[in-house]
């Protein structure tokens, strides 16, 4: 298959009164991504469950883990779509808590990636760094998952690319405009230097902790080269508005450009001179 259709959900935190209300919101957004092979939700989507916890303790969001997984498993299989269900920063493994991204596959497979580079406030809140970078190989495309801050480290995307990734999905929650542009500029840089597509899905709005108000403008990015858009932005959401953006990505074109283009940055690497 040479083309894949992808959608990025710009998800707005909103007051909810039940898990069923959360599920209904998710389904409505998926309806807007009908026909897409892959649908990407943003980082920390489960923070919205804070509205269901009277004392506002984020640690109690753990209780919704099973329902979260069951919901997206069902939706992925029913709709025959790969759903990147953002990340759940309350994933417990052997007593440690991780910010874990989940990719739900139509055949029932579940791919997990725990965020390998976490910000100081994540460290202080008790999160643990993941240590594995893997690529998910599907019938359509090879994909990597790089959550928000991870995109600010070139080695993460480079490792995923060298392992075969053709698209990197980046679920993101940035709490101010500075943070957004850090991640967005890095997503664009990773697309250029690795000759890869990047899908940046942003969380916006305010969960019940105001310090976590999201700022975003989701995008689907390419290298900056003909015949892609001059600025490498294939599709882009409006700033801080809940919406879904969609694009068709040509994989055959990507591989052709990797072999021969104006700036074949992947082929022209010189790892022999990069050692310290």
Q: What is the pLDDT of residues 147-172, one digit of tens each?
A: 999 999 999 999 999 999 999 999 99
Contacts of 168 (CB under 8 A, 6+ apart): 143, 144, 145, 146, 157, 160, 161, 190, 196, 197, 198, 199
Active-site entry in 148, 186, 187, 202: 148
Active-site entry in 12, 73, 112, 115: 115
Rounded Cα distance, 44 and 54, in Å: 19
Q: Catalytic site residue 226? A: no
Rounded Cα distance, 72 and 97, in Å: 21
pTM of the entire predicted model: 0.95
Burial class (CB in 10 A: 0-12, 13-18, 19+), 46: buried
- Encoding tokens for residue 56? 């506002």
The total number of structural domains that make up the chain: 1
> What's the CATH code of the domain at 58?
3.60.110.10
Rounded Cα distance, 215 and 170, in Å: 15
Q: What is the pLDDT of residues 185-243, one digit of tens each?
A: 999 999 999 999 999 999 999 877 667 789 999 999 999 999 999 999 999 999 999 99
Domain span holding position 261: 3-273
Q: Is 192 helix (H, G, I), strand (E, B) or coil?
A: helix
Q: Catalytic site residue 112? A: no
Angle at 133 between CA 112 and CA 262, to 5 degrees: 120
Active-site entry in 43, 166, 225, 236: 43
Q: Catalytic site residue 148? A: yes
């Amino acid at each position: 298959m040479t083309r894949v259709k992808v959608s990025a959900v710009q998800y707005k935190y909103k007051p909810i009164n039940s898990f069923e209300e959360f599920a209904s919101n998710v389904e409505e957004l998926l309806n807007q991504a009908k026909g897409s092979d892959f649908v990407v939700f943003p980082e920390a989507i489960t923070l919205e469950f804070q509205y269901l916890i009277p004392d506002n303790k984020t640690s109690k969001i753990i209780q919704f883990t099973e329902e979260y997984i069951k919901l997206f498993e069902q939706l992925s299989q029913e709709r025959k779509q790969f759903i990147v269900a953002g990340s759940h920063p309350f994933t417990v493994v052997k007593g440690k808590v991780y910010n874990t991204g989940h990719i739900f596959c139509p055949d029932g497979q579940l791919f997990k990636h725990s965020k390998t580079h976490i910000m100081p406030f994540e460290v202080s809140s008790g999160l643990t760094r993941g240590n594995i970078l893997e690529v998910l190989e599907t019938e359509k495309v090879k994909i990597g998952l790089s959550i928000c801050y991870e995109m600010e480290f070139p080695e993460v995307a480079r490792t995923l690319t060298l392992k075969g990734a053709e698209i990197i999905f980046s679920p993101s929650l940035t709490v101010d405009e500075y943070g957004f542009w850090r991640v967005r500029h890095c997503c664009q840089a990773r697309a250029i230097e690795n000759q890869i597509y990047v899908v940046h899905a942003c969380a916006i709005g305010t969960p019940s902790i105001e310090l976590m108000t999201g700022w975003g403008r989701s995008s689907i990015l390419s290298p900056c080269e003909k015949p892609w858009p001059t600025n490498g932005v294939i599709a882009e959401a409006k700033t801080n508005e809940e919406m879904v953006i969609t694009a068709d990505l040509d994989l055959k074109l990507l591989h052709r450009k990797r072999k021969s283009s104006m700036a074949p940055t992947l082929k022209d690497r010189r790892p022999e001179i990069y050692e310290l």
